[in-house]
């Protein structure tokens, strides 16, 4: 069994590198010169190779999923690592579905790194196979989570297309609110990169500090920090032999180590952002713009809309309807205003508003693209913040 779990991790690693390979292929196919054969026909096949890589990556990722399922005895969608990884895989699948329709290599260049980022982010969480508590032991949970992740993955492709659109049409030469906002989005993505790098770095160095603290029930408890403590838990005392005390202490209702990680992510993101700006000597969006100059804005706009239109019904089915069926069986009621449920409803309402604005009020182009970005932010907020910070019934899904 242990070896099967090992195989599973290896397959995920393979998938990660295949996504990387796909990114490289798409990058080459866009930036590289045009390869023409003797007859003068375009022979630039790298885009196709990129797509093939992304398909192979998906196959390998499904291999991870299936082997881990067999090893664990339950579908690997029951904690943060498993769910977030699966969301990344589903975004990859969304791309695999949508690419043949629009053949947009730029979409590949933007989607693949985001998929990699989501999978890398997932691996910061504990990756061990965990036993499943009774409330999670049902086929409906698996159906609910798998469908939701597929829906969110496709919606995330819509975000990637929206981002492509915005980078394509924004004028980076002059300072404007649009530039600032777009840079903020890219900064947000860099925070995730920073978070992953920091955790990998401190993890490799074996950093670990333990604090004794008083939890929200007024009981003594221990908390382990994988990063140096800027914010410590409520009434914290250092239990490890070495290490410094935190600068500040959090109130008891806040999960302090997560808040600490968020602060570190912002610090690392800021550092990365300014480093890149120094190197590039222009806004990052401006540096990316040459990559997307060959994109027809209207196609990017329609593509992002198609992704949302395809993803929305799937998300609704998984995130609301199947979720209600599961809640009815596991928790005796189909709806209970748990924060996670509320945020699934908010996601639904948001995309419903998007569709109405787009279809009948003519919100195309930039406005529509911004909505795609905000929608993705809501999905990530629900995944990360609501799971980790706002404790609810779903918080065992850590």
Partner 1 sequence: MKKVICECGHENPYGTELCESCGKPLKDQGKGLVNMRYEGAARRSQTYSRTIVDKIWNFFSSVKVGVWIIVLTLIASSLGTVFPQEMFIPPGERASVYYQQEYGTAGQLFYQLGFHNLYSSWWYMLLVAGLATSLIIASIDRFFPLYRALKNQRVTRHPGFMKRQRLYHTERAGEDAHDRLKKAGDALREKRYRVREENGNLLAEKGRFSRWGPYVNHIGLIIFLIGATLRLFPEMYLDDHIWVREGQTVEVKGTGGEYSVRNEEFLIEFYDDEDERFINNPQQASAVAKTYQTTVTLFQQTSETIGSGVEPDEVEQFPIRVNNPLTFDGFSLYQVDFKLNELSEFTFAVEPEEGTDDELYSETIDVNLYDPETVYEMDNGFTVEILEYFPNYVFENNEPGTLNRIPDNPRFIVEITPPGEEEGEMSMVGIQVNNPLSEESDYRLRMVDFDTNHVSALAVRRDRTIPILIAGGIIFMIGLVQGAYWHHRRIWIQERDGELLLAGHANKNWNALKKDFSWLSEKTGLPEPADQAEKEETDGTRDEGVKSNHGDAGSDKQ
14, 135, 197, 276: which one binds partner 1 (CB under 8 A): 135
Q: Does position 178 bind partner 1 by CB under 8 A? A: no
Residues 73, 201, 290, 294: which binds partner 1 (CB under 8 A)?
A: 73
CA angle 108, 111, 117 (to 5 degrees): 135
How far apart are CB 199 and partner 1 at their closest, in Å? Answer: 16
- Cα–Cα dist 90/156, whole Å: 9
Q: CB-based contacts of 67: which residues, under 8 Å, 6+ apart?
A: 4, 5, 7, 8, 11
Nearer to partner 1, 58 or 315 (CB): 315
Give 5 or 262: the residue with its C-beta nearer to partner 1: 5
Facing residues of 223 across strands?
A: 211
Distance of alpha carbon 235 from alpha carbon 365, whole angstroms? 51
221 lies in the binding site for partner 1 (CB under 8 A): no
Both tokens assigned to 269: 């993101």
- Residue 176 zone, left/alpha/beta (φ > 0; ψ -120 to 50; rest): beta
Q: Which of 71, 185, 198, 383 binds partner 1 (CB under 8 A)?
A: 71
Q: What is the DSSP letter of 39?
A: T
Q: Using the minimum distance from each CB to partner 1, give the nearer residue, 220 or 245.
A: 220
By rule CB under 8 A, what count of residues binds partner 1?
A: 72
Nearer to partner 1 by Cβ, of 101 and 271: the residue is 101
Name the minimum Å distance from CB 255 to partner 1: 14
Q: Is 363 in the site for partner 1 (CB under 8 A)?
A: yes
Is the Cβ–Cβ distance between 113 and 188 less than 8 Å?
no
Residue 81 lies near partner 1 (rule: CB under 8 A):
no
CB of 62 closer than 8 Å to CB of 128: no
CB nearer to partner 1: pick between 6 and 31:
6
Closest approach, Cβ 7 to partner 1, in A, equals: 14
Helices (H), the chain: 2-31, 46-72, 80-102, 105-122, 139-169, 177-204, 256-280, 284-292, 297-315, 323-330, 339-361, 365-381, 387-388
* Footprint (CB under 8 A) of partner 1, residues 292-351: 297-299, 302, 305-306, 309-310, 312-313, 316-317, 321, 324, 328-330, 332-334, 336-339, 342-343, 345-346, 349-350
Nearest to 102 by CA among 301, 288, 289, 293: 301
In this complex, which beta carbon is closest to partner 1, that of residue 7 or of residue 299? 299
392 contacts partner 1 (rule: CB under 8 A): yes
Nearer to partner 1 (CB atom), residue 57 or residue 386 = 386
Q: Which is nearer to partner 1, 212 or 270 (CB)?
A: 212
Judged by beta carbon, residue 33 or residue 131, the one nearer partner 1 is 131
388 touches 258 (CB < 8 A): yes
Question: Does 69 help bind partner 1 (rule: CB under 8 A)?
Answer: no
> Least separation, in Å, of the C-beta of 275 and partner 1?
34
Residue 126 binds partner 1 (CB under 8 A) = yes
Smallest gap from Cβ 332 to partner 1, in A, equals 4
Contacting residue, 66, 243, 365, 384, with partner 1 by CB under 8 A: 365
DSSP state string for 374-387: HHHHHHHHIIIIIH
Tell me if 146 sits within 8 A of 318, measured CB to CB.
yes
**Which spans in 170-283 are helix H?**
177-204, 256-280
- 99-116 burial, b at 16+ Cβ within 10 Å, e below that, comes to beeeebbbbbbbbbbbbb
Query: For partner 1, which is the closer residue by CB, 98 or 190?
Result: 98
Q: Is 367 in the site for partner 1 (CB under 8 A)?
A: yes
Stretch that binds partner 1, among 30-38, 40-48, 87-95, 245-253 (CB under 8 A): 245-253
Site string for partner 1, 2-21 (x = CB under 8 A): x--x----------------
Q: Which is nearer to partner 1, 19 or 343 (CB)?
A: 343
Using the rule CB under 8 A, give the single segment among 123-131, 150-158, 195-203, 283-291 that binds partner 1. 123-131
Nearest-angstrom CA–CA distance, 167 and 170: 6
316: closest CA among 350, 341, 348? 348
> According to CB under 8 A, which residues from 47 to 66 bind partner 1?
none
């Amino acid at each position: 069994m242990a070896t099967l779990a090992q195989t599973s991790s290896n397959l995920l690693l393979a998938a990660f590198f295949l996504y990387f390979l796909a990114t490289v292929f798409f990058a080459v196919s866009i930036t590289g010169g045009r390869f023409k054969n003797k007859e003068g026909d375009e022979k630039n096949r790298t885009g196709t190779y990129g797509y093939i890589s992304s398909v192979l990556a998906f196959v390998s990722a499904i291999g991870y999923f299936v082997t881990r399922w067999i090893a664990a005895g339950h579908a690997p969608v029951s904690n943060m690592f498993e769910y977030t990884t699966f969301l990344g895989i589903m975004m990859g699948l969304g791309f695999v579905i949508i690419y043949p329709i629009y053949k947009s290599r730029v979409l590949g260049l933007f989607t693949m790194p985001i998929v990699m980022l989501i999978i890398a982010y997932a691996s910061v969480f504990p990756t061990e196979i965990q036993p499943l508590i009774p409330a999670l032991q049902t086929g409906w949970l698996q159906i609910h989570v798998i469908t939701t992740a597929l829906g969110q993955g496709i919606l995330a492709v819509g975000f990637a297309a929206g981002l492509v659109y915005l980078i394509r049409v924004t004028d980076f030469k002059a300072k404007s609110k649009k530039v600032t906002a777009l840079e903020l989005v890219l900064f947000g993505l860099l925070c995730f990169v920073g978070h992953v790098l920091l955790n990998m770095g401190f993890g490799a160095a074996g950093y670990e500090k333990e604090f004794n603290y008083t939890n929200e029930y007024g009981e003594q408890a221990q908390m382990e920090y994988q990063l140096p403590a800027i914010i410590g838990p409520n009434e914290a005392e250092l239990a490890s032999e070495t290490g410094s005390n935190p600068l500040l202490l959090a109130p008891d209702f806040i999960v302090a180590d997560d808040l600490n990680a968020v602060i570190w992510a912002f610090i690392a993101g800021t550092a990365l952002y300014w480093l890149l700006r120094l190197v590039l000597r222009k806004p990052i969006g401006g540096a990316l713009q040459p990559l997307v100059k060959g994109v027809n804005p209207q196609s990017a706009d329609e593509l992002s809309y198609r992704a949302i239109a395809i993803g929305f019904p799937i998300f609704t089915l998984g995130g609301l309807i199947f979720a209600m069926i599961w809640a009815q069986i596991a928790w005796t009621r189909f709806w209970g205003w748990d924060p996670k449920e509320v945020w699934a409803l908010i996601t639904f309402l948001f995309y419903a508003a998007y569709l109405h604005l787009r279809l009948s009020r003519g919100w195309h182009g930039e406005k529509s693209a911004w909505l795609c970005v905000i929608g993705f932010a809501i999905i990530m907020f629900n995944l990360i913040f609501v799971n980790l910070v706002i404790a609810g019934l779903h918080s065992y899904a850590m």
